[in-house]
Structure 1
Amino acid sequence: MSGPPLIRPGGRSERIQKAVHEAVKALKAENEAVELSVPMIAERANVTPSTIYRRWGTVGELLADVAAERFRPDADLPDSGSLRGDLEIWLERFVDDISTGVGFALIQERVANTALARRAAGYAQANFEVLVNRATGRSEPAPDPNRLIDLLVAPVIYRLVFAGQHIEKRYQLELIELAMGLLPG
C-alpha cells in the first residue's frame, strides 16, 4: 500500500483505525521485543485479521502508519512566540517520542526500511516548514527546514539508534544553539 488508509472522521473506519493503533501501542508497551503478527493485533483490537490485511496490507505498513501518527504535522505544533522556543519544545517532544517504548521500536523499523525512513523524514520536514513559516511571519530570521533536519533530527537519530546514547536536554539545547547560530545577523 502506498500510504495510510483514508478514513471518514467519526465513522466506523476511524473507530477501527483507532482500535488497531491502540492495540499495536499496547502490545509494544507490554513487550518491546515481541514480534507483532496480524492475528495478535486483530485479537487485541477486536477486529478480524482480514480487516487489517485489507486496510494496511502488512504488519510493516501498519507499524509505519502507527509511527506516522506521532510525526505528522498538525495544529498541535508548539507556538512559544519565538522560533528558538518552538524548536526547543518540538525537539524535546521528538526525543521523548522516539527514545523509549513504541516510538523507539518504530523508529528502528523505519531506519531499516528506506521507504519508511523517507516518509518519516517528510513528516519532520513538514513540521519544520510550519515552524519556519510561522517564524518568518513574525519577521524572525529562520534557517532552511532542510538545515534543521541536518542539525536537529540527524544527530538525534544517529546518537539514539546507532550509538545507543540517551539524548540529554543539554545536548538538545546545544543543537538548537548551533541551528540558531547559522542565522544571518
Structure 2
Amino acid sequence: MAIKEGLRPGGRSARVQESIHSAVRELLETHQRSTLTVPQIAARAGVTPSTIYRRWGDLSVLLADVALARMQPDGEPANTGSLRGDVRAWAEQYLDEMSSEPGRNMLRDVQCSQTPGYCVAIIGAQLQAILERYPDQPGPSVDRLINLLAAPTVFRILFSAAALEVEELHRLVDIALGQ
C-alpha cells in the first residue's frame, strides 16, 4: 500500500512503487545514504526521475516512505506465555532493531514522513496484540507502554551517545506494568 494518500493500492502504481522501494533498498546495501540521488534511484528502478518527484516530492520523503514500509513487523510479537515476558521480549527486540545502524537511519528517515502518527500506529498494534493475549490480567494502556518504553528508547537512540541499557529497559517494563 502506498504511504501517500490518494494512490491506488494495486495495479501499475503499486508495481512502480515496489520497483522504486526495491531500488532504494538495494542501493542502500552498497551506498551511503548521503550519496543516494533521485536520478540514481530512478535508473535502478527503471523509471524517470520525474516519476519519483511527482509521487514523493523529494529524496527525504521517499526515504521516509521506504523506512515506514520497512518498519512493518514481520510477524506477531513473541509469545513467552506471560504479559511481562511478552512486553519485555518486544521491548528488547525494539531496542536491538532500532539501535542498529539501519534502525537509526530508519528513525532519522521517518522524521520526514508525510503521515504523522504512522509509527505510533505500527507500535501500538504490536503492543495491543500482546495485551489482548492476556484479557484476564490487568494491563497498562498501549499509550502507557509507548510512553514508558518506545519513547525513551527512541530518544536515547537519536539524542544520546549510547542507547538505553537493557537493564534500564527492564526497569521501565516493570514500571509500565506497575510492578
TM-score range, shorter chain: 0.7 to 0.9
Distance 1:70 1:176, change over 3 A: farther
Q: Give 5+ residue unaligned stretches, structure 1.
A: none
Q: Matches of residues 37-76 of structure 1 in structure 2 within 5 Å? A: 37-72=37-72, 75-76=75-76
- After TM superposition, list the pairs within 5 Å mapping 1:116-135 onto structure 2: 118-135=117-134
Counterpart contact for 1:64–1:106, Cα < 8 Å: yes
* Residue 152 of structure 2 corresponds to residue 155 of structure 1: yes
Residues 29 and 177 of structure 1, relative CA distance in 2, 3 Å threshold: farther
Please say if residues 32 and 101 of structure 1, whose CA atoms lie closer than 8 Å, have aligned partners that are also in contact.
no
Whole-Å separation in 2 of the counterparts to 1:114 and 1:52? 15
Size of the aligned set, in residue pairs, is 177
TM-score between both structures, scaled by the size of structure 1: 0.75
1:173 and 2:175 equivalent?
no
Q: Deviations over 1:100-139 (max 9, x none)?
A: 333211212334x586553322322232223222322xx2
**Counterpart secondary structure, 1:34:** helix
State how 1:131-146 maps to structure 2 within 5 Å. Answer: 131-136=130-135, 139-146=136-143
The residue type equivalent to 1:98 in the other structure is M
Answer whether contact 2:78 2:86 (CA < 8 A) is retained. Answer: yes
User: Match of 2:4?
Assistant: 3
CA distance in 2, matches of 1:120, 1:29: 23
Q: Distance in 2 between matches of 1:97 and 1:117?
A: 21
Cα 1:58/1:33, change in 2 over 3 Å:
closer
Alpha-carbon distance change, 40 to 154 in structure 1, aligned in 2, over 3 angstroms: same
1:128 partner SS: helix
Q: Please, what TM-score do these two structures have when normalized by structure 2?
A: 0.77
Q: 1:79 to 1:35 in 2, by over 3 A?
A: same
CA RMSD of aligned residues (A): 3.0
> Where does residue 96 of structure 1 map in the other structure?
96
